[in-house]
């Protein structure tokens, strides 16, 4: 009879406690699927006295994460503490160097130290599994690393942050401002007290760096990702998008181009008919464009204790089965360097919203500047305030003008808008949102 896999868990927050509950309640199913039992033998957390509503009788309490990682009775070290540095880093390194397998949900650790950790796993023979680090219950890591191992990937993109998707959904459906929706998201627990990591796009960037490595065989490099957040999005942008057949999402996009792998995070207009446009609220989604197959879209809960724990337990089951896949799909020596692709080289369609001053020659000046950069306009919408009636005070009111361009280069758009601003025919800064086609 095969001995059970002995598991040590560092971090007993919402996810860690749920992992223990799942291993206990699904013990028979896990043993049947894995060919052996799975047993939690030791744990550690910042507070031993905290009430967690889990049964830890018969489970040893290690003095610290490092002691747990090197515990002689632990076969698989599960890191659920979070953070890119210690104690998570030193504990995971110690476990891998001791030949143990590691399961983690720590995207920050992988985005910063993933290559070093994968190299240690490769050298010492343990597994390094991290399905829960991107999209929680969405099995995108296994899909890219194993399910599509024989398929060339051209593009992977998705909604990778539930907080941002929730805010944009509420803004669209209820006409609320970004600030109003953010405050509500904080009240409901979807956003942190300091929400910048989410709303400025950095959480999505960490996850995208991991996906890009798996999809394209590049070294994980968060510094190679261009990042914009959603704080500049206004309700009028969402209304205009709806009128034009689009919806605004914060996307992480990694795409193969003739100039290399482009990695970017920014608000994006996607056609309402696309699968990803239907994903609302805190739900996440990832679309994979592969050679010779239609696009594959995976949709599901991207966060939360139960969803994250289910992915962690699935990774533990893989360790129990004896699966030892290369963490990033290829041996470390085969992963290529990647550099940050300048956004100026990006090519695509653009949504541009201007507040044009209602003077003779304004439209001609804007058209001239766009033409100078060889930018072709697919559609133009002019929204006169008050239905075009003269203002009561007799003063000219800026007129919102919305342009949708055909595919062009980012540097051309930037040059044209800089010239328009210099001409002083618009008020304020132009709003620019990139368009991602199906």
**Residue 143 gets which letter from DSSP?**
I
Closest by CA position to 346, among listed 428, 431, 276, 433 = 433
Distance CA 119, CA 70 (A): 18
State residue 290 phi and psi, 5-degree precision. -115, 160
For residue 400 the two structure tokens come to 């919102």
Q: Which of 63, 207, 272, 422 is catalytic?
A: 207
CB 215 within 8 A of CB 144: yes
**Residue 135 gets which letter from DSSP?**
T
- State the first-to-last Cα distance of the chain, in angstroms, to the nearest integer: 52
CB 37 within 8 A of CB 31: yes
Distance CA 406, CA 410 (A): 12
Which CB contacts under 8 angstroms, 24+ apart, belong to 414-421?
414/344, 415/373, 416/369, 416/370, 416/372, 416/373, 416/375, 417/352, 417/369, 419/369, 419/372, 420/354, 420/365, 420/366, 420/369
Angle between helix 27-34 and helix 305-321 axes, rounded to 10 deg: 40
Percentages of the chain per state (helix, strand, coil), in multiples of 5:
40, 25, 35
CB 335 within 8 A of CB 115: yes
Q: CA dist 110 to 208, 367, 402, Å?
A: 11, 47, 41
Write the DSSP assignment of 272-283 as a string of letters.
Answer: TTSTGGG--TTE
Determine whether 49 is exposed, middle or buried from the number of CB atoms within 10 Å of its CB (0-12, 13-18, 19+): exposed
Please say if 207 is a catalytic residue.
yes
- Please list, in sequence order, all residues whose beta carbon lies within 8 angstroms of the beta carbon of residue 49, skipping any fewer than 6 positions away: none
For residue 329 the two structure tokens come to 């799909």
Closest by CA position to 268, among listed 246, 245, 288, 284 = 246
Q: Classify 285 as helix, strand or coil.
A: strand
Distance CA 314, CA 146 (A): 14
Task: Supply the residues annotated as catalytic.
Answer: 207
């Amino acid at each position: 009879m095969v001995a059970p896999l002995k598991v040590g868990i560092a971090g007993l927050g919402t996810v860690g406690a749920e992992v223990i509950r799942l291993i206990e309640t699904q013990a028979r199913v896990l043993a049947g699927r894995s060919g052996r039992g799975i047993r939690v033998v030791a744990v550690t957390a910042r507070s031993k006295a905290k009430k967690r509503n889990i049964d830890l009788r018969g489970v040893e309490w290690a003095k610290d994460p490092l002691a747990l990682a090197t515990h002689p009775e632990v076969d698989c070290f599960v890191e659920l503490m979070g953070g890119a540095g210690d104690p998570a880093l030193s504990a995971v390194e110690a476990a891998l160097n001791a030949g143990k397998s590691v399961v983690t949900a720590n995207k920050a650790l992988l985005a910063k130290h993933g290559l070093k950790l994968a190299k240690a796993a490769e050298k010492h023979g343990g597994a390094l599994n991290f399905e829960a680090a991107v999209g929680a219950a969405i099995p995108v890591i296994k899909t890219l690393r194993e399910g599509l191992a024989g398929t060339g990937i051209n593009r992977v993109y998705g909604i990778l942050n539930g907080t941002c998707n929730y805010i944009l959904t509420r803004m669209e459906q209820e006409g609320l401002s970004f600030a109003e929706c953010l405050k509500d998201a904080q009240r409901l627990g979807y956003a942190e007290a300091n929400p910048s990591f989410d709303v400025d796009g950095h959480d999505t960037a960490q996850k995208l760096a991991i996906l890009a490595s798996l999809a394209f065989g590049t070294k994980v490099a968060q510094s190679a990702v261009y990042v914009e957040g959603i704080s500049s999005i206004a309700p009028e942008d969402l209304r205009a998008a709806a009128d034009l057949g689009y919806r605004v999402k914060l996307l992480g996009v990694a795409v193969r181009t003739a100039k290399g792998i482009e990695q970017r995070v920014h608000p994006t207009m996607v056609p309402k008919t696309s699968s990803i446009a239907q994903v609302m609220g805190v739900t996440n989604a990832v679309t994979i464009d592969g050679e010779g197959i239609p696009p594959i879209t995976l949709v599901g809960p991207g966060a939360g204790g139960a969803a994250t724990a289910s992915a962690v337990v699935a990774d533990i089951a893989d360790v129990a089965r004896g699966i030892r896949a290369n963490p990033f799909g290829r041996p470390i020596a085969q992963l290529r360097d990647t550099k940050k692709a300048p956004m100026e080289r990006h090519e695509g369609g653009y949504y541009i919203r201007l507040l044009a001053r209602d003077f003779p020659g304004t439209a001609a000046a804007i058209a001239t500047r766009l033409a100078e950069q060889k930018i072709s306009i697919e559609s133009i919408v002019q929204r006169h305030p008050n239905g075009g009636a003269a203002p009561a005070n007799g003063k000219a009111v800026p007129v919102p003008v919305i342009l949708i361009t055909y595919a062009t280069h980012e540097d051309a758009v930037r040059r044209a808008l800089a010239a328009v601003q210099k001409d002083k025919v618009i008020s304020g800064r132009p709003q620019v949102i990139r368009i991602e086609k199906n």
